[in-house]
Amino acid sequence: MSPIHPIDFSQPDIIARLQQCSVEELDALEFGVIGFDDQTIVRTYNAFEAKMAGLSAERVVGAALFNTVAQCMNNFMVAQRFEDAAEAGESLDAELDYVFTLRMRPSKVRLRLVAVPGAALRYVLVNRRL
Amino acid sequence: MSDSGLELSQEYEALVQFLYIAPVGLVQADLHGGIAMINPLSAQLLMPLSRDGNLTNLFSVLEGVVPDLQHLVQNFDAAYGMVCDGIRVPLGTVVQARSQPAMLSLTVLKLDEERLMAVLTDITRQVAQERLLRQNEAWLNAIMMGVTDYALARLDAEGRIDEWNPSIGRITGFEPADVVGQPISILYPEGSTTPERVHDRLREADQSGWSLDEGWQRKADGSRFWGSAMIVPLRAPPIGPPELDGFLATLPPFSQPASKSYSLVIRDITDKREASEAQRRIVSCDHLTGIANRRTFFEAGELEFTRGLRHARKLSLLMVDLDHFKSVNDRYGHAAGDAVLREFAGLLASCFREVDVVARIGGEEFAVLMPSTDEDQALLGAERLRLLVESQQVDIGDASIPYSISTGVATVASDSSELHSLMKRADTALYAAKSAGRNRTAVWKPA
């Protein structure tokens, strides 16, 4: 695993960088990356996220993000913002503190929600929060 | 990894996923509310309520909507049991967002001296459907009361009339400028209502789904009429399932209220006070015997439980069955059977107080709900009734029919907090009375 991370959680234009990454490169990141398509089906689920959640990518890729993988985000704080942005044809790039239920433990996380009109995937990025 | 190790880790992963996708919220916490385990649906429902953006303590997350939860848990003395069972938690104005649940159901179980388990479900849709049904019932009631006209107004959260409807003018003679923005007390004679009373009625409507009262009301010219006024809470209706669309279309043409609001229906029943009383009997009374029907019994029972829980009142229930009633029908015919039922209902009504609810809840099944009555008093009442029945016969033409009754008695104890369980106990006692040979009374005893 490379000690130098090519992508920083908070860097600008992150969506373009993520799209260029190979699966291996995404897996090397030290934050969670969940990429999903316009039908909210998960297409990318990196190793960091898989390890935190206790779920392998094989179980998650192809499933509906807000209904089966991450119900915890299926409210106006997260899912709705993606929906609203898509409806308005606008970009979304927002960070917020949130709580995940990783392996059923309440776990503080920092979320970054990113969407760009026309991009194949939208992303939820997940950073640990102390 | 060994084969069995691999199998175990796969099973673990499947189990974790099972919890991730569970469509109900599950939370395990300690007795101080500290959250130990929590599944995603809980986070979905609770995160919008969390003031500090964390899910550390269940009591503090729910503080804005269930302020007494900690109190309930602390005052729950038993080592194990249901602290609260499916209580409804209206989220109301706590969270104002599109597609956000409006009502949660919360169940809290005390597992032992260390742990609580909470179950959360989003019941917004069920509640919306119930509300529609209640409105439906209200309209039906208005029709059944034989009233030809009514005034309809929408009230805001404070009980002010916030939308004009021409029916208001038709019934009261007021103009839009007279009433819009005014409290509903403008429709009542001076001194007959107070802001507190209006407030109480709105709260009553929130809690029970409607508030109905009868009394004098005021027209624009100062004259009075005897009115029946019902207040029903409205909410910006969450999008109903398609099958309700047809019904939605029949609702009065209000614009969608932005926040909490109510509909007020006023009917002038000055000329119909007697008639409406007769109509009320049709709705609430058993057609054959004239005593309360099953529906009225359940409504009264639920109401008593709500009151009883608040004030820790004693409440007793008698479940009464006519013994061998089928053989009365077989031997003397159904008309004779009906005569026996009517005769018995008359005795039943005469034996108990005004405040007791005597009802026919099935073919030959009757019930008596006795507020503020302990077990001994209830048993005395049941025996008085049994002896009276035993001493009489029902005369039909040239035959006299003797009959008897069996009765089960149950009284609310602190561990029985539902009408349903009280009925079950009284039923068990009734069964015991029947098995012991009939024509007797039995009191429910814990097994």
**CA–CA dist B25, B38 (Å, integer):** 8
Mutate to test the interface with A, among B18, B47, B95 (most CBs of A within 10 A): B47
Q: Can you give the pLDDT at residue B64?
A: 78
What are the boundaries of each domain within chain A?
14-128
pLDDT band of residue B151 (cuts 50, 70, 90) is confident
Give residue B137's pLDDT band: very low, low, confident or very high (50, 70, 90): low
Question: For residue B218, how far is the Cα from the chain centroid?
Answer: 32
Which residues of chain B does A100 touch, with a Cβ-Cβ cutoff of 8 Å?
Answer: 40, 43
CA distance B56 to chain A (A): 7
Closest Cα in chain A, distance from residue B361 (Å): 44
- Residue B95: half-sphere exposure toward Cβ, Cα within 13 Å: 26
Nearest Cα of chain B lies from the Cα of A68 at a distance, in angstroms, of: 5
pLDDT at B239 over 50: no
Compute CA distances B57 → B39, B47, B48, B74, B184, whole Å.
14, 12, 14, 15, 42
Q: Kindly report the CA angle at B340 between B335 and B343, in degrees rounded to 5?
A: 125
Q: What is the CATH number of domain B3-122?
A: 3.30.450.20
How is B254-282 classified by DSSP, letter by letter?
PPPPSSSEEEEEEEE-GGGHHHHHHHHHH
Cβ atoms of B229 and B213 within 8 Å: the answer is: yes
ipTM of the complex: 0.83
> Is the pLDDT confidence value at B242 over 50?
no
CB neighbour list of residue B412: distance below 8 Å, 6 or more residues apart: B308, B314, B315, B316, B422
Instruction: Decide if pLDDT at B45 tops 50.
Output: yes
| Out of A59, A67, A105, closest to residue B17 by CB | A59
Look up residue A10 and give its amino acid: S
Question: Which of the residue ranges A91-100, B133-142, B288-297 has the most confident prediction, judged by mean pLDDT?
Answer: A91-100
CATH superfamily of A14-128: PAS domain (3.30.450.20)
- DSSP secondary-structure letter at B206? H
Instruction: Note the pLDDT of residue B257.
Output: 46
- Residue B287: Cβ within 10 Å count: 9
User: Does B145 have pLDDT greater than 70?
Assistant: no
Contact check, Cβ <8 Å, B35/A106 = yes
Q: Name chain A contacts of B47, Cβ cutoff 8 Å.
A: 72, 75, 77, 98-99
The helix/strand/coil state of B244 is helix
Task: Count the alpha carbons within 13 Å of A43 in the hemisphere toward its beta carbon.
Answer: 13
Contact A68 B21 (CB under 8 A): yes
Give A77's contacts in chain B (Cβ within 8 Å).
47-48
Instruction: State the DSSP code for B63.
Output: T
Contact yes or no for B138/B233 (Cβ under 8 A):
no
Cα separation values, B55 from A71, B42, B71, B97, Å: 15, 10, 20, 20
Q: The tokens of B43 are what?
A: 């986070």
Instruction: Give me the residues of chain A with pLDDT under 50, please.
Output: 1-4
Which of A80-89, B134-143, B235-244 has the weakest average pLDDT?
B235-244
Read off the tokens for A126.
């997940």
Locate the domains of chain B by residue range. 3-122, 125-279, 285-443
- Domains B3-122 and B125-279 belong to one CATH topology: yes
Residue with tokens 């260390």: B114
B54 vs A contacts (CB less than 8 Å): 99, 106, 108
Read off the pLDDT of each residue in B37-45 and give the average, rounded to a whole number: 92
Residue B394, Cα to own-chain centre: how many angstroms?
Answer: 37
Query: Considering only CA atoms, which of A43, A31, A34 is closest in space to residue A7?
Result: A31
Give per-residue pLDDT as tens, B68-122.
788 889 888 888 999 988 888 877 544 445 566 778 899 999 999 999 999 999 9
Specify the pLDDT at position B279: 59
Determine whether the interchain pair A59/B37 forms a contact, defined as Cβ–Cβ distance below 8 Å.
no
When pLDDT is averaged across residues B137-166 and rounded to a whole number, the result is 76
Instruction: State the pLDDT at residue B238.
Output: 43
Q: What pLDDT, on a 0 to 100 scale, did the predictor assign at position B253?
A: 42
Q: Per DSSP, what are the bridge partners of residue B365?
A: B321
Question: Strand B399-402 vs strand B81-90: parallel, antiparallel, or unpaired?
Answer: unpaired
Nearest to A71 among B13, B40, B98 (CB): B40
A50 to chain B, closest Cα gap in Å:
11
Q: Does domain B285-443 have CATH number 3.30.70.270?
A: yes
B185 φ, ψ (degrees, to nearest 5) = -60, -15
Which residue is closest to B9 within chain A, CA to CA?
A54
Q: How many residues does chain A have?
A: 130
Contact A80 B99 (CB under 8 A): yes
* The residue to which tokens 């077989």 are assigned: B330
Please report the pLDDT score of residue B321 as a whole number.
Answer: 96
Computed on alpha carbons and rounded to an integer, the radius of gyration of chain A in Å comes to: 14
Q: Do strands A122-128 and B115-122 pair parallel, antiparallel, or not at all (unpaired)?
A: unpaired
Cβ neighbours of B40 in A, within 8 Å: 70-72, 100-101
Is B44–A73 a contact, with Cβ atoms under 8 angstroms apart? yes
- Is the pLDDT at B250 greater than 50, yes or no? no
Give B203→chain A minimum CA distance, Å.
29
Contact B37 A104 (CB under 8 A): yes
Q: Rounded to an integer, what distance in angstroms lies between the CA atom of residue A15 and that of residue B89?
A: 40
Nearest CA in chain B to A53: B16
Q: Does residue B26 contact residue B119 with C-beta atoms inside 8 Å?
A: yes
What separation, in Å, do the N-terminal and C-terminal C-alpha atoms of chain A show?
23
Q: Can you tell me the distance from the alpha carbon of B321 to that of B318, in angstroms, rounded to the nearest whole number?
A: 10
Predicted pLDDT of residue B96: 46
Q: pLDDT at residue B254 above 50?
A: no
Per-residue pLDDT at B161 = 93
**Which CATH number among 3.40.30.10, 3.90.76.10, 3.30.450.20, 1.10.10.10 corresponds to the domain B125-279?**
3.30.450.20
CA A128 – CA A100 distance, rounded (Å): 10
Contact between chains at B38 and A69 (C-beta distance less than 8 A): no
Q: Do A72 and B44 touch (CB under 8 A)?
A: yes
CB distance B38–A75 less than 8 Å? no
Contact A18, A45 (CB under 8 A): no
Distances (CA, A) of B87 to B15, B101, B126, B364: 29, 15, 14, 34
CA A2, distance to chain mean position in Å, is 21
User: What is the pLDDT confidence band of residue B319, given thresholds at 50, 70 and 90?
Assistant: very high
In residues, how long is chain B? 447
Choose the mutation target among B6, B15, B20 for the interface with A, i.e. most A CBs under 10 Å. Answer: B20
